[in-house]
Amino acid sequence: TLDPHPPAELLARRARAIGPSLSISYAEKLKMVRGEGPWLIDHSGRRYLDAVNNITHVGHCNPQVVAAIARQAGILNTNTRYLSELILDYSERLTAKLPGDLKVAYFVNSGTEANELALRIARTAMGKKSTVVLDWAYHGNSGGMVDVSPYKFKRKGGYPQPDFVEIAAFPDPYRGPHKGMSEASGRAYAGDVARCLEAVRAKTGTSAAAFIAESISGVGGQVVYPDGYLKSVYEQVRAAGGLCIADEVQCGFGRVGETFWGFELQGVVPDIVVMGKPIGNGHPLAAVVTTRELAATFANGMEYFNSFGGNPVSMAVGMAVLDVIEGEGLQQTALETGRYMLDRFRDMARRAPLIGDVRGRGLFSGVELVRNQETLEPATAEAGWIVNHIRQQGVLASTDGPLDNVLKFKPPMVFGRAEADILCDALERAFADLAASGPSAAG
């Protein structure tokens, strides 16, 4: 069927109607018209395997989630100032998934808002503002979040590091100064957080309010921290009088396979946990969970109200997402498919000299491309070329990391071995084609 509004027409309208700071994927722009499990279907009816959308956690247009939205939207949708068992049922079920005293939830509409609230809770409780962040971190799109996101403020269009923010060295065991996943490497990187804590004390005469980090770095290029890194960092931050916040927006909710939360891989328990993206499967839902003690301190007289956060439709969605994760055993799928994919990537690395590093946990993985295995010269153009090549074959992925040379994979969790094979076969062909066309092919 002929599409009355093909991509070229939409692109022209978009240039006039939508703010130009919004980018669009691929040189050959795609118009998606339908989603189905791990698949996206474009205007011409072509099916693409989605290997990168971690928001649609339980699959595009998951029927249970769609039914939950429709059902609750037809019954009641209002704010949280009336009693409802939905928000209580969901809070109790969600916090049951968390260790320790992490038993009090706040519901908001985006990861940005959730991180904003997490920092407000920490800063209010501690009565100070300074924050230690990781290099290349991204925590959201608001002014307050760009301030704690070196990935944004250090880049083009950014601004100088705010004086209340200290940037700790990126604990990258492949490219950073300390190599490998050992505890020695973890402790060495954690030493840089000690430097940041001292810098805060020297500047302000007191400790930092908080340390915030993803449990595995997403925009930093799927970087898994060395063993013991967060453990050592949390100890130091707490000893200095600060709180620890885990941003689980990308890596939470069973994606890493072995555990439900990314921080569990590092053997730590945060003071505040931030969740977003997958929690609503694309419906705007995000959450902050903290301890009763911190929640009580935050209730200092100023109300926290959120027009949409925690509404009955969102709560029904959150519940449906957990039902599907548990009902379909998706954490186990992430573990098994994830291991299989990582094995195939490692096998590919034996034939593809461009592959410098294969890393990740579960269905959260990355393949870093380099031109030289010794100097680690980034193969940025090649990474873009590979992503475009597999797109031509009908598979969607992306590149990321500070050098934009990491192939990034974080598919919907309904990604089985069959889907992993489609992705990996496409990658094999792309690497072979690139090798056959010579080093200048990628430009």
**Interacting residues with ligand PMP (CB under 6 A):** 110-112, 115, 138-141, 214, 218, 247, 249-250, 276
Which residues contact residue 268 at a Cβ distance below 8 angstroms, ignoring those fewer than 6 apart? 230, 231, 234, 244, 246
Please identify, using beta-carbon distances, which residue of 115 and 232 lies nearer to ligand PMP: 115
What is the nearest approach in angstroms of ligand PMP to the Cβ of residue 83? 28
What is the nearest approach in angstroms of ligand PMP to the Cβ of residue 145? 7
Other beta carbons within 10 Å of 149 = 26
Please identify, using beta-carbon distances, which residue of 112 and 207 lies nearer to ligand PMP: 112
What is the nearest approach in angstroms of ligand PMP to the Cβ of residue 365? 16
What is the nearest approach in angstroms of ligand PMP to the Cβ of residue 218? 5
Comparing CA positions, the residue from 139, 232, 226, 220 lying closest to residue 194 is 232
Residue at shortest CB range from ligand PMP: 111
Please identify, using beta-carbon distances, which residue of 80 and 110 lies nearer to ligand PMP: 110
Please identify, using beta-carbon distances, which residue of 172 and 382 lies nearer to ligand PMP: 172
What is the nearest approach in angstroms of ligand PMP to the Cβ of residue 133? 12
What is the nearest approach in angstroms of ligand PMP to the Cβ of residue 295? 21
What is the nearest approach in angstroms of ligand PMP to the Cβ of residue 162? 18
Please identify, using beta-carbon distances, which residue of 251 and 403 lies nearer to ligand PMP: 251
List own/partner pairs for 149-154 with CB under 8 A and 24 or more apart.
151/219, 151/220, 151/402
Please identify, using beta-carbon distances, which residue of 128 and 139 lies nearer to ligand PMP: 139
Distance CA 288, CA 414 (A): 26
Please identify, using beta-carbon distances, which residue of 38 and 111 lies nearer to ligand PMP: 111
